[in-house]
Structure 1
Amino acid sequence: MYHVITAGKMNQVIDEVQLQRKAFSRQPARAVLVDFRPPMDSGTCLNMVQALTDTLMLACNLTGSVRIPLFSLITLGLYPEALYPLQSINGNRVKLLGALRELKVLCSSTLPVSSRSCLSEGIDEALIQLRRQQSLNNSSNSNTSSQLEITIVTAISSSTVAHQLSSLSNCPTLECVKRIQVLCVHEGERMLSSEQEDELNLLGEDHSELLASLLDILPIENDVLSFQSVFQCWLHDCNMDSEHLCLLLPAATDGDEVTVRCDLYERILDPVLLPTSLSSHYLLTSLLDHTMETTKQQPLLATGHTQHVPRHKLRAVSLIASGGVCESVLYGMVRQPLLLCPSHPLYPH
């Protein structure tokens, strides 16, 4: 049985508004490394390119805060080759599409690959590009991402990838890396075995704790939707310097109520962020007149605009079965439903 916690009344949901926070102010730079070593095939590559294109084109056309400040696309064949060196995607749509088309051509052709792994060289190349961008922006007094998140797409087994990345243990430049996410593509039957999981667990014992904390190996199905589910997470707000929302729960026994610090994640992008002629006329069909008025009067945000949003506190007032909640409450009167995920353990208020 699933339950839904209701927080206050519809017109009194916000119990307390604290200091504001800057949304999307800590978005990391993104680098995608495509490993062409067998058993990577053209079908897998084309699925990945389609999902990557959809996500990047959506990010290019969103107004408001920049979701992907810097992006790089690197192929790993005989050596690392940057199809799209680390730079902004806003204003570079034509150049970005050209790089994606070139990647699509490489996917359909027989690309010579090295007998040895060049994963480490590819990561080094991405870090060099980040330092170059930081140097350029420092000279022009511009803000740039201080962290880099690397995504590796490969068909090699997860245990092999973990072993090949162990050479990065002593790399001092890993301090500016937020995460190294490895997407290990499988066809359904090539799942992560228990032996491979045990070998991955040994990574933290045999190598540096820093590398073990950065490495995130994710088995993924070979289809466009699976790739999209990973790439679209780039559009979430990555600023975790402070909690997005506090949920106050009543104590089980006599005592202080319990506070759950939560982060907010969008489940549906607000259509007013799309720079189309329809966005300025977007109306939310709702039974609440004030909701419709708020929607019509909301101004469009310019690209790069910094959003200041309040940090709210919600107090739980009742617990009801999920079957007793009409979907119109979640998706009818609320234009942009958000997912709450605990960011810290429970602690007394």
Structure 2
Amino acid sequence: MYHGRTAGKGSAIPAHFYQQPSRLLIVHVTLPSWSGICSNLCEALQNFFSLACSLMGPSRMSLFSLYMVQNQHECILPFVQVKGNFARLQTCISELRMVQTEGCFRPQNTSLKLAVEDGLQQFKQYSRHMPTRAALTYTALEITVLTSQPGKEVVRQLEEGLKNTDLVRLRRLQVVEITNGVPEYTESASPVEEFSNDESSLLGTDIDLQTIDNDIVGMETFFKAWLHNSGTDQEHLHLLLPSGRSSNLSRTKESPMCLKCDLQERLLSPSLLPGTADGSMRMDDPKGDLSTIYQMPSQSSDSHYKLQVVKALKFSGVCESLMYGLPFILRPTSCWQLDWDELETNQKHFHALCHSLQKREWLLLAKGEPLSRGSTQRAPASTFYVVMPSPSLTLLVKAVATRELMLPSPFPLLPEDPPDDSLRTVESLLDSLELEDTYNPFQIWSHLYPHLTSTLAKPQGRPQSSWESRPLRKTGQLLTNRARATVAPLPVTPAPGRAPKVSGAQKATSKAFLLPSNEEEEEEEEEP
């Protein structure tokens, strides 16, 4: 597995965002199931990219490419930068909607393997055309194959077909089987968390096998996992528990326990999205708090963000009005540089802490230490946090108010009993409300996606580069905006003893893969 280290000194983007891999999505089209998948998949992709292209701050994704495998493999979208390319991505999704949904064809067993090899070839070519420093950020690729065929069979097909292929740049290859199960979304178990790799481990292969439901929310949540920080070069945060009490015999104190954790966002900050209700608020961005991990330059291995536990609090003794900003999730680190024994011990201690806090109904009050103090000699202001346990192997962290932030709140206490007539009126109104046991965010629709799509669809007036799309003339068709790849696609293997038949439309599509010479470009421009 590749683990990049690319952010140089003075970089404005954290190293772990450079570690986000480039992504190739291969849509494995099979009939008749494609007709029931196409609409949901395209809607999920549209929603996801409206979000990914709108996020301010460091880019969560680097490069993206889309292939379709039907009766042969076809590059719908060569590798492009995600940020700033919503129009191209939207055109790509529109073209995916027009893929044949009825009829019959004979898929070739080699098509899927050729799509993987062709995608790797395109990725290598793209990297070679980048400046040296930028090319260092494009050294790893993750390939996802979306299919409605049985996942085990597709994995075996890929394993057999790619056994002699150079996969040195491939960080991960996963097969995602789309099923027709009935989705149930809860706050405690999202579609991504329900995935299991047990199937793939039984196959004795490095190819991951996952399943998702044929549902817009399920697919959308799967793609959103691409926005998570996936760097494992170092742990993100150290949670420091105070040393044990001194022993009467030894009169020495145990060294403080250090739990090495990875930090994960619980949700996206509305302040990172244009035009949202909370767009002007940055409650989660005081200088030196946890959010700086996602904003500051690369740090050395000895400058982890630290949370020093100060004391314990009873769960019932903390008023939620004193908490502010966005929540973050702590989990045991998966840093590859730690040996297995240390990783296992760290996870066991983390598990024990979660269990003990839940059993005692305690929270922890912790003081944050900034990543960097800069050149000033003055002690920086500290941020305090409450650390809360959860039923899963995670801890929830939220900033908590300190004396300096408090405003007076002279609110009188409620009298024991309200007036009878008002009580009857309000009780009647409350009885008419639908009651839910839990809050399920998947059932609440804020119309954010259409808003972001309309915002991104406005003309930006940005000039196109040589990697941008150009209008092509297809035989018997109107001009389209399909982008041209920079490397000729790998040939489709014909059946033994037979030459492949190529239609006029297929010839035109194949021609779109090749970068034309200057003479060909001039001929195209001269055509009326």
With structure 2 as the length reference, what TM-score do the two structures score? 0.50
Cα distance in 1 for partners of 2:155, 2:119 equals 18
Query: Over residues 211-237 of structure 1, what are the superposed CA-to-partner deviations in whole Å (9 max), with x where a residue is unaligned?
Result: x33x21111112111111210011112
Cα distance in 1 for partners of 2:78, 2:149 equals 25
When residues 201 and 96 of structure 1 are mapped into structure 2, their CA distance, relative to the original with a 3 A threshold, is closer
C-alpha contact 1:40 1:154 (8 A) present in aligned 2: no
When residues 340 and 199 of structure 1 are mapped into structure 2, their CA distance, relative to the original with a 3 A threshold, is closer
Do structure 1's residue 165 and structure 2's residue 158 form an aligned pair? yes
Secondary structure, counterpart of 2:119 in structure 1? helix
Counterpart of 2:213 in structure 1 is 221
Cα distance in 2 for partners of 1:323, 1:104 equals 53
Alignment coverage as a number of residue pairs = 298
Offset, 1:307: 4.7
Offset, 1:39: 5.7
Offset, 1:119: 2.0
Give the counterpart letter for 2:50 in structure 1: M
Give the counterpart letter for 2:212 in structure 1: I
Counterpart of 1:42 in structure 2 is 35
Query: Over residues 290-328 of structure 1, what are the superposed CA-to-partner deviations in whole Å (9 max), with x where a residue is unaligned?
Result: x79x49xxxxx9xxx875576312234566676776655
Do structure 1's residue 83 and structure 2's residue 76 form an aligned pair? yes
Secondary structure, counterpart of 1:282 in structure 2? coil
Query: Over residues 122-180 of structure 1, what are the superposed CA-to-partner deviations in whole Å (9 max), with x where a residue is unaligned?
Result: 11121011101111114796554211111111111122122111125534532211111
Counterpart of 2:60 in structure 1 is 67
Give the counterpart letter for 1:185 in structure 2: I
Counterpart of 1:106 in structure 2 is 99
Counterpart of 1:203 in structure 2 is 203
When residues 89 and 101 of structure 1 are mapped into structure 2, their CA distance, relative to the original with a 3 A threshold, is same
Structure 1: stretches of 5+ with no match in the other structure? 1-19, 190-196, 205-211, 285-290, 296-300
Of all paired residues, the percent bearing the same amino acid is: 30
Give the counterpart letter for 1:342 in structure 2: P
Secondary structure, counterpart of 2:46 in structure 1? helix
Counterpart of 2:409 in structure 1 is none
Cα distance in 2 for partners of 1:247, 1:135 equals 42
Offset, 1:266: 1.3
Do structure 1's residue 340 and structure 2's residue 330 form an aligned pair? yes
Cα distance in 2 for partners of 1:119, 1:59 equals 27
Cα distance in 1 for partners of 2:236, 2:63 equals 24
Give the counterpart letter for 2:266 in structure 1: R
When residues 65 and 223 of structure 1 are mapped into structure 2, their CA distance, relative to the original with a 3 A threshold, is same
Cα distance in 2 for partners of 1:168, 1:326 equals 59
Offset, 1:65: 0.8
Counterpart of 1:274 in structure 2 is 273
When residues 147 and 283 of structure 1 are mapped into structure 2, their CA distance, relative to the original with a 3 A threshold, is closer
Counterpart of 1:5 in structure 2 is none
Do structure 1's residue 241 and structure 2's residue 233 form an aligned pair? yes
With structure 1 as the length reference, what TM-score do the two structures score? 0.73
Counterpart of 1:150 in structure 2 is 143
Counterpart of 2:112 in structure 1 is 119
C-alpha contact 1:39 1:155 (8 A) present in aligned 2: no
Do structure 1's residue 137 and structure 2's residue 150 form an aligned pair? no
Cα distance in 1 for partners of 2:100, 2:265 equals 32
Cα distance in 2 for partners of 1:319, 1:237 equals 30
When residues 256 and 220 of structure 1 are mapped into structure 2, their CA distance, relative to the original with a 3 A threshold, is same
Query: Over residues 34-57 of structure 1, what are the superposed CA-to-partner deviations in whole Å (9 max), with x where a residue is unaligned?
Result: 111246332222212211121112
Structure with larger RCO (C-alpha < 8 A, sep 6+):
1
Cα distance in 1 for partners of 2:225, 2:199 equals 27
> Alignment RMSD, CA only?
3.6
Secondary structure, counterpart of 1:179 in structure 2? strand
Which has the greater radius of gyration?
A: 2
C-alpha contact 1:38 1:155 (8 A) present in aligned 2: no
When residues 255 and 283 of structure 1 are mapped into structure 2, their CA distance, relative to the original with a 3 A threshold, is closer
Give the counterpart letter for 2:43 in structure 1: Q
Worse-matched range after superposition: 138-147 or 158-167: 138-147
Offset, 1:62: 1.5
Offset, 1:270: 1.8
Cα distance in 1 for partners of 2:133, 2:210 equals 38
C-alpha contact 1:156 1:184 (8 A) present in aligned 2: yes
Secondary structure, counterpart of 1:137 in structure 2? coil
Cα distance in 2 for partners of 1:139, 1:247 equals 38
Counterpart of 1:265 in structure 2 is 264
